[in-house]
Structure 1
Amino acid sequence: MAEESTFDRIVSILKDQEGLDNVDLKPDTKLSEVGLDSMSTVEAVMACEDEFGIEIDPEANPQTVQEFVDLVDEQLKNKD
Structure 2
Amino acid sequence: MDTILISPTRYAHLPGACTHLTEELVTAPRWGWIPTPPAGLWDRLSDSFPATATEGNTARQAVRRCEECQTALT
Q: Same fold (TM over 0.5)?
A: no
- Bigger share in helix: 1
Q: TM-score, normalised by structure 1?
A: 0.24
Q: Which has the larger radius of gyration?
A: 1
- Bigger share in strand: 2
